[in-house]
Structure formats: structure tokens, C-alpha cells
């Protein structure tokens, strides 16, 4: 009789210690997260991508091991499919974002040009690969604010032939989160792609031309002309907060124009001419690339729209679209305000070596293809 309590104590102690260990571990994780959030500078709010990036650093094996220790039914599964959980690996991955079983985590954030391999190409040309995906840079704000002399200034963009007076109520919002992205051929004595910024001769001119090209096909659009770079400067924000600055403007414009159903954020890629230019019927065009954020749920319809536009461009202007990619993770915004609408897309127009003539041709081609898609969708909606 005296031995039975001893037997119970013998088996009860390890279980208690195990539970105590897990509670300490969970407490450490919770306090680490709270500490990380509390350490953020004032004004830099957390967002979904921040939370996702943090959770991605924790191996799924940790969660499976933790749950299987408490739920016996999980132990009935093939344990060979669940890698043995290692506390040391878990702590290493949580604190350094390194996974010793995935070499990409060692080099992905350190070697320039390596991080694109973490993204996903949905559709593209034969020469579209992970080494030439669009680049998302975060230059110092003072570099973006610096103006340069302009050469070969753009001609006044008059109404195009065939311009329609009658258009729909604004159905498209066009804006430029990185509104000062410019083009080297129009900047005097500037050869460094990292210096290709200007307050007037920039990607906003492409947006204005796209607006007129859409009107030619009877589609009304609004071009937001907010200087988000100046907004960042006035608020004391950094360049990586550009999407936070444009988000509030987009929400306001959409709220004031209930017919707006499409959101086009127009950018300029940082890649060079060989990756961003194509010749079609003897004329040079700036290629486009459709980017969909990977760091928010429910992006499939955004992907479907981008894929359709890519495929339609391929039929009418072969090679004009470089493709569609889902991009996110470390070093990228990963949402791009596309969670605001299932018809929101980011479009990279050309690159740092593109000319406005090339860009305008592309804007007209995109407007033509989008108009076919838009009016077909409108006809279906009415039936």
C-alpha cells in the first residue's frame, strides 16, 4: 500500500515539469511579442504584414508538437510526417529568422537580388524569372525629394484623336504611391537608377495619359495627384510608409465616388532597359508587370484580374506584359492597399530607362485592352 503513492509521484512529476516548461515557453513568447510591439517607434503602427512576418518565423512543427502533447488524437497520425521539434531550432528561428533546414533564410535578406526567390510568378513570358522580378526599393527620403534638371521635357499631352466627350461616371481610380519615380532619359546628368526621381517629370504623367486613353474608350477615371513624397516629409515618415500614406487617400476617394470599382496604382520599375522594353510592329513600348500582394487574405480575384489583363495584352500586343507575380514577405509591403478592393492592382510601367513616348504607347495599349474587358463585364452584369 505504501508503494502506490510513490508510483504516482514517479509519473506525476515529469508531466508537471513538462506542463510547467510549456507554460514558461508560452509566457516567454507572449512577453517577447509584447516587447517587440512596445519597442516600435511612436506613429509606426503595426499592420497585417508585420504580424504575418512574425508568425512566419515560428515553425509549424512547434505548433504540432505543442498540440500533440495535449491532444492524444494527434499522436495517431504518422509521426514521421512531423519533424522532431527542437527547442534550440525554435529559439534560433524566432530570434534570428534563420532556419537551418532552409539555406534561403541565411542569404535571403542579406544578398541583394536573392529575396525575389521567396515570391511567386503566376504567369509570365519565357524570359520572366525570379532574377528579373520588379524591384521594390526604399531609398532615403532626402534622395527622393532631390530634384534634377530636366532634358527633353515632355510635350503637352493634348487630347488624343478619337477622344470621347461622353464617359461613364468615374469607374477607375488611378494613383501613384511612389509618385516621384522618374526616368533617366529625361533627367540631366543623372545615370544612377537610384537617383531617378523628380517632382514633376515622373510616373504621374503616365497616369494622366492613361486617364485620357480610358476616356477615349468611354471609361471615366479619377487621377489622384497627391504628392505622397511630400506627405511623408510633412509627417516625418520614412519612404517605406508610402502605402500607409496613400491608403487614407484611396479610402476617401472611393467613399466619395461609389461607382469606382477599379484601383490602379501605377509605378515605375527600377530595372534597366533590357528587362523593361519591347519592340512591337517596329515601335518601342515600355513593358508592364502586374504585382499582387501576398500578405493579405482573399487576393485570388485580384490575381484573376491581373492574369486576364496579361493574357489579353498578350493577344493584342505580344510581349508587352512581362507577367503577373504575387509578392510579399521581408523587404516588401506585401499588401499594396489591395485589400481595399478585389479589383485593385499594382502596375509597373517600364523601367528607369523608359522614355515618355514608350510609356504613353503602353498606356494607350493597356487602356484599349482594359476597355474591352470592362465593357464585356458591364454587359454581363446587366444581363
SS (H, E, C) 300-323: HHHHHHHHHHHHHHHHHCCCCEEE
The total of other beta-carbon atoms located within 10 Å of residue 382's CB is 6
pLDDT (0 to 100) of residue 45: 42
Are both 153 and 211 inside the same structural domain? yes
126 vs 39, which has greater pLDDT?
Answer: 126
Is the CB of residue 328 less than 8 Å from the CB of residue 351? Answer: no
Higher-pLDDT residue of 71 and 270 is: 270
Closest by alpha carbon to 136, among 299, 321, 294, 319?
294
- Which of these three, 114, 135, 157, is where a domain ends? 114
Are 133 and 49 contained in the same domain? no
State the pLDDT at residue 22: 79
Q: Which of 107, 269, 103, 294 is nearest to 196 (CA)?
A: 269
CA gap 319, 321 in Å, rounded: 6
Same domain, 109 and 200: no
Indicate if 17 and 69 belong to the same structural domain: yes
Residue by residue, DSSP assigns 181-223 as B--GGGBTT---GGG-B-SSSSTHHHHHHHHHHHHHTT--EEE
Helix-helix angle 228-235:242-256, to 10 degrees = 120
Whether the full predicted model's pTM is greater than 0.85, yes or no, is no
Considering 86, 114, 142, which residue would you say is the last residue of a domain? 114
- The pLDDT of residue 320: 99
> How many Cα neighbours within 13 Å face the side chain of 126?
1
79 and 129 part of one domain: no
Query: Residue 285 gets which letter from DSSP?
Result: E
pLDDT of residue 138: 81
DSSP classification of residue 117: G
Same domain, 42 and 132: no
Q: Are residues 157 and 43 in the same domain?
A: no
Q: Which of 10-24, 309-323, 328-342 has the lowest mean pLDDT?
A: 10-24
Last residue of a domain, one of 44, 79, 114: 114
Those residues with Cβ within 8 angstroms of residue 346's Cβ, 6 or more apart along the chain or in another chain: 265, 267, 290, 291, 292, 293, 336, 338
Q: Domain count for the chain, please give it.
A: 2
Average pLDDT over residues 197-222: 97
Do residues 83 and 169 both lie within one domain?
Answer: no
Co-location of 271 and 152 in the same domain: yes
For cell 496613400, what's the residue? 246
The residue segments making up the domain with residue 101 are: 3-114
CATH number of the domain encompassing residue 168: 3.40.630
Q: What is the pLDDT of residue 210?
A: 98
Q: Are residues 66 and 147 in the same domain?
A: no
Q: What is the pLDDT of residues 14-39, one digit of tens each?
A: 776 777 777 888 887 887 777 666 55
d(CA 339, CA 76): 39
Q: For residue 150, what pLDDT is reported?
A: 92
- Predicted confidence at residue 33, as pLDDT, reads 76
335 and 47 Cβ atoms separated by less than 8 Å: yes
Per-residue model confidence (pLDDT) at position 161 = 61
Statement to judge: residues 143 and 225 lie in one domain: yes
Upper half-sphere CA count for residue 380 (Cβ side, 13 Å): 6
- Averaged pLDDT, 80-94: 57
Position 52 scores a pLDDT of 45
Predicted confidence at residue 36, as pLDDT, reads 62
Residue 165 shares a structural domain with residue 93:
no
Amino acid at each position: 500500500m505504501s508503494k502506490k503513492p510513490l508510483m504516482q509521484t514517479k509519473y506525476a512529476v515529469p508531466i508537471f515539469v513538462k506542463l510547467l516548461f510549456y507554460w514558461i515557453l508560452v509566457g516567454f513568447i507572449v512577453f517577447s511579442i509584447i516587447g517587440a510591439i512596445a519597442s516600435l517607434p511612436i506613429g509606426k503602427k503595426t499592420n497585417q504584414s508585420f504580424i504575418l512576418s512574425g508568425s512566419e518565423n515560428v515553425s509549424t512543427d512547434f505548433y504540432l508538437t505543442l498540440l500533440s502533447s495535449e491532444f492524444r488524437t494527434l499522436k495517431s497520425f504518422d509521426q514521421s510526417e512531423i519533424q522532431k521539434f527542437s527547442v534550440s531550432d525554435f529559439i534560433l528561428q524566432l530570434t534570428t529568422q534563420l532556419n537551418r533546414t532552409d539555406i534561403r533564410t541565411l542569404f535571403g535578406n542579406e544578398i541583394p537580388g536573392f529575396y525575389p526567390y521567396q515570391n511567386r510568378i503566376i504567369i509570365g513570358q519565357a524570359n520572366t524569372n525570379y532574377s528579373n522580378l520588379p524591384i521594390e526599393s526604399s531609398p532615403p527620403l532626402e534622395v527622393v525629394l532631390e530634384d534634377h534638371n530636366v532634358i527633353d521635357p515632355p510635350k503637352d499631352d493634348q487630347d488624343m484623336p478619337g477622344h470621347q466627350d461622353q464617359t461613364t461616371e468615374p469607374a477607375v481610380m488611378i494613383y501613384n504611391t511612389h509618385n516621384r519615380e522618374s526616368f533617366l532619359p529625361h533627367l540631366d546628368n543623372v545615370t544612377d537608377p537610384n537617383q531617378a526621381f523628380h517632382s514633376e517629370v515622373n510616373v504621374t504623367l503616365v497616369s494622366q495619359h492613361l486617364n485620357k486613353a480610358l476616356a477615349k474608350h468611354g471609361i471615366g477615371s479619377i487621377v489622384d495627384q497627391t504628392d505622397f513624397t511630400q506627405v511623408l516629409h510633412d509627417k516625418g515618415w520614412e519612404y517605406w510608409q508610402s502605402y500607409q500614406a496613400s491608403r487614407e487617400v484611396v479610402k476617401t476617394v472611393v467613399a466619395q465616388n461609389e461607382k469606382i470599382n477599379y484601383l490602379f496604382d501605377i509605378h515605375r520599375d527600377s530595372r534597366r532597359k533590357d528587362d523593361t522594353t519591347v519592340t512591337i510592329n517596329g515601335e518601342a513600348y515600355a513593358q508592364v508587370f502586374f504585382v499582387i500582394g501576398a500578405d493579405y487574405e482573399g487576393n485570388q480575384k485580384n490575381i484573376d484580374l491581373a492574369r486576364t489583363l496579361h493574357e489579353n495584352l498578350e493577344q493584342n500586343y505580344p510581349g508587352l506584359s512581362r507577367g503577373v507575380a504575387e509578392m510579399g514577405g521581408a523587404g516588401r509591403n506585401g499588401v499594396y492597399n489591395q485589400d481595399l478592393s478585389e479589383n485593385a492592382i499594382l502596375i509597373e510601367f517600364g523601367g528607369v530607362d523608359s522614355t515618355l513616348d514608350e510609356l504613353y504607347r503602353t498606356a494607350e495599349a493597356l487602356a484599349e485592352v482594359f476597355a474591352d474587358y470592362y465593357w464585356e463585364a458591364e454587359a454581363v452584369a446587366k444581363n
